[in-house]
Chains A and B, each alone.
Chain A
């Protein structure tokens, strides 16, 4: 039985959606022109005015915004509403450079929470559910977003934030949590703990909503197996409010984009040219409803494909594939593009866990890459020869996937740091 939070939008005829998008885009461009001098200047440099934008078909005329723009405009340069109307900031968990600060009016928050509510209901959530939110609460958008969405759906919301896993498990058991929201790496860790404690039959989880970091199909299967639930993907960025930009439905053939709030495009990352549906390229979003931090053609650096097709869930919203790695997650090793997600796929395929670390260095002017992965009980044997064979097999499989030879180091179980938030998978020691 399919549940919708806002069926009239989620299942609206495509022409109606496009009409709505055009109306809202025109309004948003006027709003930005009048209230965000930083972007107005960009528009002027591109010889575009609000009069040139009459529908979604004119979107391509507008200049892009990038993370560099956000850093340059920090802190208040892209704020679209006066301070008196802004009620909150959220800030990205950026690891390099200045943080990105996004602003919200109360209405922006309401719309954001609606988007998260859609995601929870698509995962089967209703007011009868107990929803445990284990994303971090605070500046990070995961906690506040799913918290708000959960309230709107009417679930009993457990605002756990991340960490304190013993307490997470205790409440999960005692309160009968049915839906869990956290990062996939934390879910994998919780799954490990559930297995170790042997409490699989004491927990009542039916669904999980996982996002904020890249995760593979293999990892999905692993989490589903360990926690006995159906795992749903969710996508978002702080610049676009947070989680809830898109969400997976029961069909699990891509994530439905909330396109009444966000218009999606795929572009060629080198030329900026808009690519037709079905082609792979960089995902760009235009937020057409939120006002305090209005993003026009924001480049996400996520590589993706868009497809509009009939979905068994009944929703007509366009779908995006799972991002195939971010262009800034990508490593270039000896001239070859390597995505940590590719390495993860091989590891899980070969029966290892997702507890791994990639160490990149430069020795004698040549890039080196080492993958440290934990030995598992299933793979351990009383024969050095057998273990060496396994290691070689892994090196071969990685070479086959990546095109380069990778050094593999087997390490003792539980020695690779577990994460409760976004996992750090790569240590790049090269000073470039």
Chain B
């Protein structure tokens, strides 16, 4: 199943990241993965959290511009070449990666990568066909 990711508009101003993380702390929301994409003037912060709906509520209440999107969490063997193997399969099948980032800590002994791709359904099918495990959203507490 797909994992819900929260994206938040970040103005390039000191304190923005602190404000976001403080809001989440107020509602006891735990972050499992985080990445920031930036341009010179603004950025998008992407988060995988436990209890995405609760997090969205507090973020909107606090006045942030936040949205949910679907991403795919993939269990990657935690050894050299683990990621390269998966990327190779994707490249062969024409799956284009828009962005990716990793989840904190191991999940069932494996590393977990978050992928945003151009063809989510096609990607999931490809993973299943190649015996690559999709990490459950519940495993991430998401």
Contacts and interface: CB of A to CB of B under 8 A. Distances in A.
B65 to A, nearest CB: 5
Interface stretch (A168-176, A197-205, A237-245, A404-412): A404-412
Interface in A350-397: 375-377, 380-384, 387-388
Contact of B63 (A381, A384, A410, A413): A413
B53 to A, nearest CB: 17
A380 B11 contact: no
Interface residues of A, number: 17
Q: Chain B, interface size: which category?
A: 20 to 34
A388 B67 CA distance: 18
A400 interface: no
Contacts of A431: none
The DSSP consensus for interface residues of chain B is strand
A383 B65 contact: no
Contacts of B104: none
Contact of A409 (B5, B7, B41, B69): B41
B69 A377 contact: no
A384 B39 contact: yes
Interface in B11-66: 11, 13, 16, 37, 39, 41-44, 46, 63-65
Nearest to B70: A382
A414 interface: yes
B46 A377 contact: no
Interface of B: 5, 7, 9-11, 13, 16, 37, 39, 41-44, 46, 63-65, 67, 69, 98, 116
The 4 A-B pairs of least Cβ separation, nearest first, read: A412-B11, A382-B7, A382-B69, A380-B65
Interface of A: 375-377, 380-384, 387-388, 409-415
Given A380-B9, A382-B67, A412-B11, 16 more contacts: A375-B9, A375-B42, A382-B46, A382-B69, A382-B116, A384-B39, A384-B44, A387-B44, A410-B9, A410-B11, A410-B41, A410-B42, A412-B13, A412-B64, A414-B63, A415-B11
